[in-house]
């Protein structure tokens, strides 16, 4: 039998994860008292058929229970939208964000891209829950992407000559 290894410390895990660069999203949904959202960088694309995406939601977050049972929208932020990332992480007070008009699921105004989902499956993720959404609508615009690495926000310049044929 292999010996039990001591689990890595949260600090060691964080140090590794800080070196993994991601984009930044705000996941929006209809709260009890109006549109709500939470900043999340655990977003990933999962499947094309059916079209599925995933976010990992902290059990202690206010949005946790609500994202399990209602449609939500993943708003992928543009480089100039860093203030929204702070705001929806609860780190900074700010003016009421601008919301897109006439949507059934609350969506931010003018995200770099957006992916609207209905809940599909959830899985135990320790102190998080993995929420898979089935994509029901989406859209995008031109612009640079907001990034997160080394525990800092940054930017990835828009490009039209990537390697999308490899994936």
Ligand X SMILES: Cc1cc2nc3c(=O)[nH]c(=O)nc-3n(C[C@H](O)[C@H](O)[C@H](O)COP(=O)(O)O)c2cc1C
Least separation in angstroms between residue 149's CB and ligand X is: 10
Q: How many CB atoms lie within 10 A of CB 142?
A: 8
Which residue reads 């059934």 in tokens? 104
Q: How far is CA 47 from CA 30, 53, 70, 79, 147, in A?
A: 25, 7, 20, 26, 22
Secondary structure of 47-78 in the HEC alphabet? ECCCCEEEEEEECCCCCHHHHCCCCEEEEECE
Least separation in angstroms between residue 163's CB and ligand X is: 26
> Contact positions toward ligand X, by CB under 6 A?
24, 38-42, 56-58, 61-63, 85, 88-90, 148
101 or 127: CB nearest ligand X: 127
Token pair, residue 163, equals 């390697």
Least separation in angstroms between residue 36's CB and ligand X is: 7
Token pair, residue 142, equals 């031109």
8 or 90: CB nearest ligand X: 90
89 or 113: CB nearest ligand X: 89
Least separation in angstroms between residue 88's CB and ligand X is: 6
38 or 105: CB nearest ligand X: 38
């Amino acid at each position: 039998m292999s010996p039990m290894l001591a689990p890595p410390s949260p600090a060691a895990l964080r140090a590794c994860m800080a070196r993994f660069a991601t984009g930044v999203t705000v996941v929006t949904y209809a709260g009890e008292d109006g549109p709500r959202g939470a900043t999340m960088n655990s977003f990933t694309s999962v499947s094309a058929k059916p079209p599925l995406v995933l976010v990992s939601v902290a059990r202690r977050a206010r949005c946790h229970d609500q994202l399990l049972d209602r449609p939500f929208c993943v708003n992928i932020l543009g480089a100039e939208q860093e203030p929204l990332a702070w705001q929806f992480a609860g780190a900074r007070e700010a003016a009421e964000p601008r919301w897109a008009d006439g949507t059934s699921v609350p969506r931010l105004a003018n995200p770099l891209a957006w992916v609207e989902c209905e809940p599909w499956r959830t899985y135990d993720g320790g102190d998080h829950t993995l929420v898979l959404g089935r994509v029901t609508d989406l859209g995008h615009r031109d612009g640079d992407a907001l990034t997160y690495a080394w525990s800092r926000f940054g930017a990835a310049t828009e490009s039209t000559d990537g390697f999308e044929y490899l994936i």
